[in-house]
């Protein structure tokens, strides 16, 4: 359950906007997106999990593992709910990419403005 009641995912993301951008910088994230049920009408503020699509900066393998697992734990702590973290470069199934495309919501993009777009 979240610390506060939020009626929509947009409310929840906006409440965490600055902290999320800080986490992305800390864990060397190039791009972070939310996808799945959390971006649609099926979002349940107290029970839905969050599915994130992430792209990291180029890192050494040992730094990459620390960034991946550190970010996953930090997102879980930040949102107080289960988190699935999927790396974009690890997706080989074009049907999976096609299925999630309509639900993708960019939360952070290091090359541009790091503000969350909700």
Residue 45 · residue 12 · CB < 8 Å = yes
Q: Where are the domains of the chain?
A: 9-109
DSSP state of 80: T
Model confidence pLDDT, tens digit, residues 41-69? 778 877 889 999 999 999 999 999 999 99
**What is the fold, at CATH topology level, of the domain defined by 9-109?**
Beta Polymerase; domain 2 (3.30.460)
Query: Tell me, what's the pLDDT at 7?
Result: 56
Cα(86)–Cα(90) distance, integer angstroms: 8
The one-digit pLDDT tens for each residue of the chain (118 residues) are 444 444 578 888 888 999 999 999 999 999 999 999 888 877 887 788 999 999 999 999 999 999 999 999 999 999 989 999 999 999 999 999 999 999 999 999 986 544 444 3
């Amino acid at each position: 359950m979240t610390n506060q009641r939020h009626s929509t995912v947009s409310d929840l993301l906006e409440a965490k906007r600055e902290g999320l951008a800080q986490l992305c910088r800390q864990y060397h994230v190039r791009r972070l997106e939310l996808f799945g049920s959390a971006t649609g009408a099926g979002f349940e503020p107290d029970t839905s999990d969050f599915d994130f699509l992430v792209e990291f900066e180029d890192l050494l393998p040992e730094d990459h593992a620390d960034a991946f697992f550190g970010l996953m734990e930090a997102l879980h702590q930040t949102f107080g709910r289960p988190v699935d973290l999927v790396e974009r470069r690890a997706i080989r199934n074009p049907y999976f990419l096609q299925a999630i495309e309509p639900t993708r919501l960019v939360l952070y993009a290091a090359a541009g403005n790091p503000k969350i777009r909700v």
